[in-house]
Amino acid sequence: MANQTTAQIATYFRVCDRTRVRYADTAADSDTVILMLAPWPETLWAYRRIWDQISAVGRVVALDMPGFGHSDQPERLIAPDAMGDFLALLIDEWDLGAPHIVGPDVGTAAALFLANKAPNKVTSLSIGGGAVAFPMAAGGALEAVIGAPSLDDVRQLDARVNISAADESAAPQATEPQVHEDYVSAYDLGRFAESARFVRHYPEQNKVVQGFCRRFRSPRSSLPETTTISYRGRTTSTWRTPCRTASPTASTLVTLRGRRRPASTGASFRSG
pLDDT in tens, 123-180: 998 988 878 877 777 777 888 899 999 999 999 989 899 999 999 999 999 999 999 9
Say yes or no to pLDDT of 14 above 90.
yes
Determine if the pTM surpasses 0.75. yes
Nearest alpha carbon to residue 65 among 116, 121, 19, 120: 19
- What is residue 216's predicted lDDT score, i.e. its pLDDT? 56
User: What mean pLDDT comes out for the span 223-246?
Assistant: 33
User: What mean pLDDT comes out for the span 177-196?
Assistant: 96
Range of the domain at 212: 9-144+201-255
Residue 95 lies in a domain: yes
H helices, E strands: number in the chain = 10, 9
Residue 130 parent element (H or E): none
Amino acid at 111: A
Say yes or no to pLDDT of 261 above 50.
no
Residue 214 lies in a domain: yes
Residue 77 belongs to a domain with what CATH number?
3.40.50.1820
Question: How many domains does the structure of the chain reveal?
Answer: 1
Residue 171 lies in a domain: no
Whole-angstrom distance, CA of residue 64 vs CA of residue 78: 12
Residue 217 lies in a domain: yes
Instruction: Calculate ∠ Cα 161-109-106, nearest 5°.
Output: 15
